[in-house]
Amino acid sequence: MHRITLGNTVFEGENNAYLFSGEQIVLVDTGVAVSESRADLEAGLAEHGLEFADVDAVVLTHYHADHAGLAGEIQAASGATVHAHTADAPLIAGVESAWDDVRETHRRLFTEWGMPEDDREDLLAYLESGAELRGPDPAVEPFDGGDRLQFGDLELEAVHAPGHAAGLAMFVLETDEVLTGDALLPVYTPNVGGADVRVDRPLERYLETLEAIATAGFERAWPGHRDPIEDPAGRARTIIEHHEERAYRVLSVLAEHGPADAWTVSAHLFGDLEDIHVLHGPGEAYAHLEHLTRDGEVEPTDEGYRITDDAADRLADRSDGRWPLASLEVD
């Protein structure tokens, strides 16, 4: 396996594409459909005597443009098969009804989060302007978690890892290493709640994914951005702790300022935001508020989310700046 590092001028941090050059030429993720990333991917393939026309299969961790953007262009050049999880395949394939559902959910949730109308319309326009980053729509062959994808002498075991995206998938190698996409990153903590508004109970799903990584015994993780992770279990535990710290801060905002909607909580947590972060900030605040509501620590009121009296008392007794989170049982 060879890691090809792709510059990313659109989203944060360098992207990775992973090249397998055995009996079949396979790429896991492709980068965003902009000239800089395209040139980096072409140069990375050329180092191994390859070009887009030589690729037999593209396997995608999820639908976000910085991972799937060039898949259609590669397929057009080579006839490569493109593979993605069932939940994300329609978006990658450009099925308009699937994208219409996303747009409708955006509008509904932006209102529910308390996003002001001007910010809401600006964000919707920004999201529409990014459609070109997806590049041409490929034909997609869907798979499910637990499937084993066979490409000549290469086998990739697909593991469904929802949270950051509904169809995010990891791929386990025979070496007990794993390609994690954005399920596990070495520097940033993947956004939940805003990055994919289709995910039901996003924080809950992501905590389950992190617990699965922490207990899987992986030797090394190859993420969708930046450098390999030598201790995947430790990194997963660190991200769980990060969300416990965030939950503590969310509850502290409610305890100090009274009932608030997700937009207001986001402002206290992150301040003023721009571009895609206008989606990610309140989305993550909402993911935490929704999780804490289901856990009985917060209750919705006409004025916004309110911390319960019992939770407020327990919050005052904590000195570690963390609020223990559990993966709630899914109905």
At 240-287, the pLDDT tens digits run 999 999 999 999 999 999 999 999 999 999 999 988 899 999 999 999
Domain end position, chosen among 131, 147, 177: 131
- The domain spanning residue 203 has which CATH number? 3.60.15.10
8 Å CB contact between 259 and 301? yes
Same domain, 35 and 75: yes
Total count of domains within the chain? 3
Q: Has residue 163 been placed in a domain?
A: yes
Chain position carrying tokens 């639908």: 63
Same domain, 19 and 152: yes
Same domain, 167 and 273: no
Q: Has residue 35 been placed in a domain?
A: yes
8 Å CB contact between 107 and 86? no
Average pLDDT over residues 184-212: 96
pLDDT over 80 (residue 322)? yes
Determine which of 71-85, 123-137, 229-243 has the lowest per-residue pLDDT on average: 123-137
Pairing of strands 177-181, 220-223: parallel
pLDDT value of residue 129: 85
List, as one string, the DSSP characters of 265-309. Answer: HHHHHH-S--TTHHHHHHHHHHHHHHHHHHTTSEEEETTEEEE-H
Same domain, 119 and 138: no
8 Å CB contact between 280 and 195? yes
> Would you state the structure tokens that stand for residue 12, as one six-digit string?
């944060």
pLDDT value of residue 170: 98
Same domain, 47 and 84: yes
pLDDT value of residue 327: 59
Same domain, 209 and 147: yes
Chain position carrying tokens 């895609």: 276
pTM of the model: 0.95
CA atoms of 22 and 210, how far apart (whole Å): 31
Residue type, 294: R
Q: Has residue 8 been placed in a domain?
A: yes
Q: Has residue 322 been placed in a domain?
A: no
pLDDT value of residue 41: 97
Confidence of residue 65 (pLDDT cuts 50, 70, 90): very high
- Which residues span the domain enclosing 309? 237-317
Q: Has residue 328 been placed in a domain?
A: no
The sheet carrying 154-160 orders its strands as 148-151, 154-160, 169-172, 177-181, 220-223
Same domain, 18 and 146: yes
Q: Has residue 22 been placed in a domain?
A: yes
Confidence of residue 51 (pLDDT cuts 50, 70, 90): very high
Sign of the torsion angle spanned by Cα atoms 90, 94, 96, 98: positive
Same domain, 253 and 109: no
pLDDT value of residue 328: 52
Pairing of strands 15-21, 154-160: unpaired
Average pLDDT over residues 216-245: 97
Same domain, 119 and 157: no
Percent helix / strand / coil, the chain, rounded to 5: 45, 20, 40
Sign of the torsion angle spanned by Cα atoms 152, 62, 166, 240: positive
pLDDT over 80 (residue 329)? no
CA atoms of 48 and 211, how far apart (whole Å): 37
pLDDT value of residue 174: 87
- The domain spanning residue 242 has which CATH number? 1.10.10.10
pLDDT over 60 (residue 330)? no
Q: Has residue 325 been placed in a domain?
A: no
pLDDT over 50 (residue 21)? yes
Domain end position, chosen among 232, 248, 280: 232
Same domain, 248 and 184: no
Same domain, 156 and 202: yes
Domain end position, chosen among 232, 253, 273: 232
CB hemisphere CA count around 316 (13 angstroms): 8
Q: How far from 274 is each of 10, 200, 265, 269, 279, CA to CA, in Å?
A: 13, 25, 16, 14, 9
Q: Has residue 330 been placed in a domain?
A: no
Same domain, 118 and 167: no
